[in-house]
């Protein structure tokens, strides 16, 4: 049963719809293809959806399977995700085993339609090995590798949507220019940190590309547990490093139990030092869509600020090209 106020609202909505079709709707239709005429691009991660959106001439409908806060290493597609992949005209995924539970599905899809593993287009020599796997998949943490990905994706879009070739070229150039500005912003901001403090102690191993690109030593906080002897030794070693090198901040992600960080802080204070917990860093998913961290550029700027401020450096002023339009 409809509630009484609905009975009032429905005719109003119908009138609005008629008005829209008669006056406004027709015009937009002429400029932009209708939804069902658009090329349907499905991405696994939110980073890739943001990249595709930056290249979109208006002829693409882009959807990401994973939203904010989703762990791609553990992500299992639902039946509706599988339906989206089947409907898609183009699939973009990260590759290098990031989507661990979707590997086979994506490879099967790739036999039927254009599907690009963006991370796997990177020259092998630039791909890092993982701790316990042949590849470290977190290549987007190095902006120059992300730039390379933009070129590959733009080329695929041009091939599939040749009518808009010139727009893809222009948008790709514009976005890669912004990324070059982002790269130098990160580089100069990180270089302001004292050398002995250029240590990024983080929860998960997502920052090794960042460390290689921008000159930081990245130390994993994983295995930071007081429950085993190895864990205890690791905590003690970290505490000594923090005290010796006067590292003011460690960084975690929400998934790391607070007690482990507290145990580390306790060890550091035993040695006469002090260490604080920095702002949460974004790694495998972007922030919420309506925030600056909901874009790739905004997410990298957020991480850089958190790291630089946490470790006592000074931020370089961001170029106007980097001020994201929300
Ligand atoms: Zn990860």
Whether residue 269 is found in the same domain as residue 146: no
Compute the distance from residue 103 Cα to the ligand 1 centre, in Å: 15
- Residue 224 counted as domain residue: yes
* Structure confidence at residue 8 (pLDDT): 46
Reply yes or no on whether the pLDDT at 254 is more than 60.
Answer: no
- Residue 318 counted as domain residue: yes
Compute the distance from residue 52 Cα to the ligand 1 centre, in Å: 21
Whether residue 47 is found in the same domain as residue 133: yes
The pLDDT confidence band at residue 82, using thresholds 50, 70 and 90, is very high
Whether residue 182 is found in the same domain as residue 247: no
Whether residue 135 is found in the same domain as residue 164: yes
139, 159, 187 - which closes a domain: 187
Compute the distance from residue 205 Cα to the ligand 1 centre, in Å: 7
Compute the distance from residue 123 Cα to the ligand 1 centre, in Å: 20
Q: How far is CA 230 from the centre of its chain?
A: 32
Strand 276-277, strand 249-250: pairing: parallel
Compute the distance from residue 73 Cα to the ligand 1 centre, in Å: 6
Answer whether 217's CB lies under 8 Å from 199's CB: yes
* Structure confidence at residue 28 (pLDDT): 46
Compute the distance from residue 283 Cα to the ligand 1 centre, in Å: 7
User: Average pLDDT for residues 159-178, to the nearest whole number?
Assistant: 98
The residue count of the chain comes to 326
- Residue 13 counted as domain residue: no
* Structure confidence at residue 258 (pLDDT): 67
Compute the distance from residue 141 Cα to the ligand 1 centre, in Å: 11
| Structure-token match 């930071």, residue found | 224
187, 218, 234 - which closes a domain: 187
- Residue 21 counted as domain residue: no
Tokens for 61, please give them: 């409908």
What is the Cα–Cα distance from 42 to 48, expressed in whole angstroms?
A: 9
The Cα-based distances of 155 to 92, 116, 166, 320 in angstroms read: 13, 11, 11, 27
Compute the distance from residue 326 Cα to the ligand 1 centre, in Å: 26
Task: Please provide the DSSP assignment of 21-59 as one string.
Answer: IIIIIHHHHHHS--GGGSEEEEESSHHHHHHHHHH--S-
Compute the distance from residue 204 Cα to the ligand 1 centre, in Å: 7
Q: Which domain holds residue 106?
A: 33-187
pLDDT in tens, 1-22: 444 444 444 444 554 444 444 4
pLDDT in tens, 69-78: 888 989 999 9
Structural domain count, the chain:
2
- Residue 248 counted as domain residue: yes
Whether residue 149 is found in the same domain as residue 228: no
Whether residue 137 is found in the same domain as residue 251: no
Compute the distance from residue 257 Cα to the ligand 1 centre, in Å: 17
Compute the distance from residue 233 Cα to the ligand 1 centre, in Å: 25
Whether residue 204 is found in the same domain as residue 174: no
Task: Please provide the DSSP assignment of 108-124 as one string.
Answer: HHHHHS-EEEGGGGS-G
pLDDT in tens, 281-326: 998 889 898 888 999 999 999 999 999 999 999 999 988 888 766 5
Answer whether 134's CB lies under 8 Å from 100's CB: no
Compute the distance from residue 301 Cα to the ligand 1 centre, in Å: 18
Reply yes or no on whether the pLDDT at 47 is more than 90.
Answer: yes
Compute the distance from residue 68 Cα to the ligand 1 centre, in Å: 13
Q: What is the CATH number of the domain that holds 217?
A: 3.40.50.1980
Compute the distance from residue 295 Cα to the ligand 1 centre, in Å: 17
Predicted TM-score (pTM) of this structure: 0.86
* Structure confidence at residue 26 (pLDDT): 42
- Residue 237 counted as domain residue: yes
- Give me the residues near ligand 1 (ion), CB cutoff below 5 Å: 206, 284
Compute the distance from residue 72 Cα to the ligand 1 centre, in Å: 7
Compute the distance from residue 44 Cα to the ligand 1 centre, in Å: 14
Contacts of 160 (CB under 8 A, 6+ apart): 39, 89, 90, 114
Whether residue 221 is found in the same domain as residue 125: no
Compute the distance from residue 64 Cα to the ligand 1 centre, in Å: 17
Burial of 110 (0-12, 13-18, 19+ CB in 10 A): middle
Compute the distance from residue 90 Cα to the ligand 1 centre, in Å: 24
- Residue 176 counted as domain residue: yes
- Residue 1 counted as domain residue: no
Whether residue 136 is found in the same domain as residue 269: no
187, 222, 240 - which closes a domain: 187
Reply yes or no on whether the pLDDT at 25 is more than 70.
Answer: no
Whether residue 101 is found in the same domain as residue 139: yes
Compute the distance from residue 71 Cα to the ligand 1 centre, in Å: 7
Within 116-270, residue ranges assigned H as helices are: 143-160, 165-191, 208-214, 229-244, 258-270
Strand partners, 277: 250
Whole-number average pLDDT of the chain: 87
What is the Cα–Cα distance from 224 to 203, expressed in whole angstroms?
A: 9
Whether residue 180 is found in the same domain as residue 39: yes
Torsion of CA 290, 295, 299, 300, to 10 degrees: -160
Whether residue 176 is found in the same domain as residue 210: no
What is the Cα–Cα distance from 317 to 171, expressed in whole angstroms?
A: 25
């Amino acid at each position: 049963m409809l509630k009484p106020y609905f009975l009032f609202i429905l005719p109003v909505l119908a009138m609005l719809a008629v008005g829209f079709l008669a006056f406004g709707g027709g015009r937009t239709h002429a400029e932009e293809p209708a939804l069902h005429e658009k090329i349907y691009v499905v991405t696994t991660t939110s980073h890739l959806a943001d990249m595709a959106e930056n290249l979109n001439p208006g002829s693409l409908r882009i959807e990401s399977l994973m939203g904010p806060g989703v762990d791609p290493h553990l992500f299992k597609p639902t039946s509706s995700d599988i339906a989206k992949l089947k409907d898609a005209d183009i699939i973009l995924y990260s590759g290098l085993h990031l989507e661990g539970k979707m590997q086979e599905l994506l490879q099967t899809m790739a036999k039927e339609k254009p599907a690009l593993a963006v991370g796997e287009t990177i020259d092998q020599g630039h791909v890092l090995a993982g701790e316990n796997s042949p590849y470290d998949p977190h290549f987007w943490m190095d902006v120059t590798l992300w730039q390379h990905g933009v070129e590959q994706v733009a080329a695929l879009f041009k091939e599939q949507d040749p009518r808009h070739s010139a727009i893809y070229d222009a948008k790709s150039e514009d976005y890669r220019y912004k990324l070059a500005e982002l790269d130098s912003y990160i580089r100069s901001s990180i270089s302001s940190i004292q050398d002995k403090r250029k240590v990024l102690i983080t929860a998960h191993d997502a920052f090794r590309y960042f460390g290689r690109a921008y000159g930081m030593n990245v130390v994993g906080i994983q295995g930071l547990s007081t429950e085993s002897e190895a864990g205890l030794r690791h905590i003690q070693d970290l505490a000594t490093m923090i005290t010796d090198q006067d590292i003011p901040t460690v960084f975690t992600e929400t998934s790391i139990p607070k007690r482990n960080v507290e145990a580390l802080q306790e060890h550091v204070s035993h040695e006469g030092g002090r260490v604080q917990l920095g702002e949460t860093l974004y790694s495998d998913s972007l922030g919420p869509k309506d925030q600056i961290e909901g874009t790739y550029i905004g997410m990298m700027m957020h991480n850089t600020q958190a790291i630089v401020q946490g470790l006592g450096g000074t931020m370089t002023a961001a170029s106007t090209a980097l001020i994201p339009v929300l």
